[in-house]
């Protein structure tokens, strides 16, 4: 039976430096296996769409530019993604990867959350097609404005 059984811990802590991390002024290195922003390599993609099928958050859209020439564009929604890496597991051609460096993905508007991956001309093709379908310039990913 004692009183103040943790007094030793408290006294020892008095002479220790505070453990608080001064984020964002000092950044600790991210753990090696951290699942950060998704990256896509259009050169290897065969358009099997398995990543899209198993995504629990519907964060991935594979848009077909030319199926015969294997031209695909990925529209990735960073705000919907739960960073579970199921898509990376599903991809048999190693064209998906989650980088451990890019993880500070907060933004002040919704635009940065829609990311297009693909060959430059293919992305332009998709954007042009989207612009044609929506001539008034509304973002197809946004909910329709109230009438």
Residues that bind another protein (CB under 8 A): 1-6, 9-10, 19, 31-35, 53-56, 82-86, 89, 100
Single out the residue of 83, 141, 147, 82 nearest to residue 114, CA to CA: 141
Peptide bond into 24 cis (omega under 30): yes
CB of 92 to another protein, least distance (A): 12
CA distances 111 to 17, 61, 79, 80, 142, Å, are: 42, 16, 10, 13, 10
Using an 8 Å Cβ cutoff, are 39 and 74 in contact?
Answer: no
CA distance 22 to 43: 41
Do residues 132 and 126 lie in contact, with contact meaning Cβ atoms separated by under 8 Å? no
Nearer to another protein, 27 or 53 (CB): 53
Smallest distance, Å, CB 103 to another protein?
A: 10
Q: Which is nearer to another protein, 74 or 81 (CB)?
A: 81
**Rounded CA separation 7/85 (Å):** 45
Least distance in angstroms from the C-beta of 140 to another protein:
23
Q: How far apart are CA 90 and CA 56, in angstroms?
A: 13
* Residue number with CB closer to another protein (50 or 130): 50
**Shortest separation between residue 15's beta carbon and another protein, angstroms:** 16
**Minimum gap (Å) between residue 54 Cβ and another protein:** 4
């Amino acid at each position: 039976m004692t009183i103040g059984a943790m007094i030793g811990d408290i006294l020892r802590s008095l002479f220790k430096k505070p453990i608080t991390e001064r984020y964002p002024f000092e950044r600790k290195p991210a753990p090696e296996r951290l699942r950060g922003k998704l990256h896509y390599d259009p050169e290897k993609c065969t358009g099997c769409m398995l990543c899209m099928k198993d995504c629990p958050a519907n964060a991935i859209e594979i848009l077909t530019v030319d199926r015969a020439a294997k031209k695909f564009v990925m529209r990735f929604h960073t705000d919907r993604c739960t960073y579970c890496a199921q898509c990376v597991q599903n991809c048999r051609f190693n064209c998906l990867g989650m980088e451990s460096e890019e993880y500070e993905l907060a933004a002040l508007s919704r635009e940065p959350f829609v990311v297009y991956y693909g060959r430059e001309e293919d992305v332009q093709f998709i954007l042009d097609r989207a612009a044609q379908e929506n001539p008034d310039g509304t973002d197809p990913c946004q909910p329709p404005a109230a009438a």
